[in-house]
Structure 1
């Protein structure tokens, strides 16, 4: 991850790292999922976005962590024409 960070800064490019989530059967409140990569991926990322499927073909992107943007959600669809909001 440090090498990816270095390359992103050197070449001024965006790097996307994906992570899986798993269910937390002991979670009675809040989000019942947790990232498989744990705190290592969470702390090495500048921005964190949680993607999930919604109803009727919609997708939901939730901004979880950003140094300059507030948390929030946006819905979108993936169609034959690309990404539509």
Structure 2
């Protein structure tokens, strides 16, 4: 499952002015990586977009996970793409 996320401009402002938010967000990213369900995590140079590549979870579970993220209220767009890894 590939998830593409974009943050709103007002969300970026809130995140920048709330130092504990990025720390809380990254706790989830590291937890999922350590659990072996997050394969890759990319952040754009502007820090407004991110791409997460999950393995062995379906779209329903993936949506549940994204919705608990501290940044979720500040996301302007979330796209889910179910894919089968070929190699």
Regarding TM over 0.5, the answer is no
Higher relative contact order (CA 8 A, sep 6+): 2
Comparing both structures, which one devotes a greater share of its residues to strand? 1
Q: State the TM-score, normalizing by the size of structure 2.
A: 0.28
| The structure with more helix, counted as a fraction of residues | 2
